[in-house]
Amino acid sequence: MTTSKLGPVNNWEDDFDILDGAYLNNPFEIWDHLRNSCPIAHSDRRGSNWLPTTYEDITKIAHDVATFSSTQVLVIPFIESQSFSYENINPEVLGYGAPPITADPPLHTWTRRLILPWFSHKKVSEYEPLTQAICKKLIDEFSKRTTIDGATEYAQQIPVRVISHILGVPEDMTDIFTTWVRDFLEFADNSENRFNSIKEIVLYLIGVIEERKILISKGQHLDDMISFLIQEQNNNPEIDDAIVLGMSILLLIAGIDTTWSAIGSALWHLGKNPNDLLMLKQQPEIMDTAIEEILRAYSPVTMARVVTKDTEFNGCPMKQGEKVLMNFPAANRDPKVFENPETVNLKRKINRHVAFGSGIHRCGGANLARMELRIAISTFIDNLPDFIVDNDDDVIWAGGQVRGPRKLPLTFIK
């Protein structure tokens, strides 16, 4: 098991490290332990960070946006000395970060409203045939084999293609996007790669936006989401170029690692639990509760908040500038809210999970993510109904901001 580059964890109460191997592989036991010993843990690794583990604390913090600001949402912070003043990028281009996720009201409110209609149920159902076709094509490529890597050959390939379609960027960029997003979110301890990845994303999207602007000014009709933001600039002067860029960055990044992780976790679970796989095949009508349960039990996303003023929260002295990790995954394992939280029950009836967050930042792409999960899983089990995770030791989990399997050997039983 790997220790993080900051050395072994002395104790989880006041020296936690979410990139420690034990946390990556099995954070559940650590949260259970903390809920009993110290429900809001603390660590001075990577700045001063608090780690709440109960549903009540996490949802309370998520709703107090005045005290807990979203202007710093990365769980592994950028090294302080680094700023966006390099080469040909004007630091002001990222003046707003990536709204709405890095914004507080009022900026949050109107930038969020701009994107929500793009992920309504009706709109999302338009992307369903495309998602189906992507999944089927991937499966056709490996269906004759006896083993595949369910993470890189399947799960990873789906969300990036769907979002590329929505943003109107070419499919042949998908491997590059995946590399950028992983360097930015997943390999966050390698600050040089991380810095380069965000730089590449910024430069690429600046190019895309410039190109679209020219086409639009020539009267071309473009119906992708980035072009929509550009066209909205005519209706709302508040949407300046930095807003268009920041929002495009978020839209490119937000749906890739997250949804891929959820699809991978679902396949891992089904490959480890043949009874659940059988039940899902025999009773496809439970798919909706199954998906919510997978999202609860294997919630991919942890976010961060920054404390805006000294405050005492549930006995913890939180100082201005310190960070709180929004541990939605731990909230979803809280025994006070979920009956037998450690049991994955695909028919769980009462499941108030917060895998998509809580409060005003509720995941904008939740409907899209759910649709992708549903299609990815059902297409897989319809075409390749019998598979197992042969050897759990070969599975590699990533974590930190986004948790999910990055290597997932699956064996088909024919």
Interface residues with ligand HEM (CB under 6 A)? 70, 73, 100-101, 112, 115, 159, 163, 250-251, 254-255, 258-259, 262, 300-301, 303, 326, 328, 355-357, 361, 363-365, 368-369
Stretch that binds other proteins, among 77-85, 117-125, 133-141, 277-285 (CB under 8 A): 117-125
Q: Which is nearer to other proteins, 366 or 388 (CB)?
A: 366
Q: Minimum CB separation from ligand HEM for residue 70, in Å?
A: 6
Cβ neighbourhood burial of 64 (10 Å; 0-12, 13-18, 19+) = middle
Torsions phi, psi of 277, nearest 5?
-60, -45
Q: What is d(CA 53, CA 407) in angstroms, rounded to the nearest whole number?
A: 27
The set of residues, in sequence order, having a beta carbon less than 8 Å from that of 330 and lying 6+ positions away, is: 27, 31, 35, 52, 53, 54, 58
Q: Is 287 in the site for other proteins (CB under 8 A)?
A: no
The set of residues, in sequence order, having a beta carbon less than 8 Å from that of 279 and lying 6+ positions away, is: 286, 346
Q: Which is nearer to ligand HEM, 294 or 410 (CB)?
A: 294
DSSP letter (8 states) at residue 361: G
Q: How far apart are the first and last CA of the chain?
A: 33
Q: Which is nearer to other proteins, 68 or 154 (CB)?
A: 68
Find the angle CA(45)-CA(46)-CA(52) to the nearest 5 degrees: 75
Instruction: Decide which of ligand HEM, other proteins, none touches 194; Cβ closer than 5 to 8 Å per partner kind.
Output: none
DSSP β-ladder status, 409-412 and 387-388: antiparallel
CA 202 and chain centroid, separation: 19
Instruction: Decide which of ligand HEM, other proteins, none touches 290; Cβ closer than 5 to 8 Å per partner kind.
Output: none
Residue type (1 letter), 372:
E
Is the CB of residue 332 less than 8 Å from the CB of residue 300? no
Q: What is d(CA 296, CA 353) in angstroms, rounded to the nearest whole number?
A: 6
Q: Is 292 in the site for other proteins (CB under 8 A)?
A: yes
Neighbours of 373 (CB within 10 A): 25
Q: Minimum CB separation from other proteins for residue 292, in Å?
A: 8
Instruction: Decide which of other proteins, ligand HEM, none touches 328; Cβ closer than 5 to 8 Å per partner kind.
Output: ligand HEM
Instruction: Decide which of ligand HEM, other proteins, none touches 365; Cβ closer than 5 to 8 Å per partner kind.
Output: ligand HEM
Q: Minimum CB separation from other proteins for residue 306, in Å?
A: 21
Instruction: Decide which of other proteins, ligand HEM, none touches 368; Cβ closer than 5 to 8 Å per partner kind.
Output: ligand HEM
Q: Which is nearer to other proteins, 7 or 117 (CB)?
A: 117
Is the CB of residue 373 less than 8 Å from the CB of residue 291? yes
In the bound state, the residue with its beta carbon closest to ligand HEM is 365
Instruction: Decide which of other proteins, ligand HEM, none touches 67; Cβ closer than 5 to 8 Å per partner kind.
Output: none
CA 343 and chain centroid, separation: 23
Residue type (1 letter), 8:
P
Q: What is d(CA 95, CA 273) in angstroms, rounded to the nearest whole number?
A: 47
Kindly state the helix (H) or strand (E) to which residue 108 belongs, with its residue range.
helix 107-115
Stretch that binds other proteins, among 109-117, 127-135, 158-166, 302-310 (CB under 8 A): 109-117
Q: Which is nearer to ligand HEM, 167 or 395 (CB)?
A: 167
- Give the helix, strand, coil percentages of the chain, each rounded to 5: 50, 10, 40
Stretch that binds other proteins, among 182-190, 274-282, 318-326, 358-366 (CB under 8 A): 358-366
Q: Is 347 in the site for other proteins (CB under 8 A)?
A: no
Task: Give the contact letters, 84-103, x = binds to other proteins (CB under 8 A), - = no.
Answer: --------------------
Q: Which is nearer to ligand HEM, 112 or 406 (CB)?
A: 112
| Residue ranges binding other proteins (CB under 8 A) | 59, 113, 116-117, 119-122, 288, 292, 349-354, 356, 358-360, 362, 366-367, 370
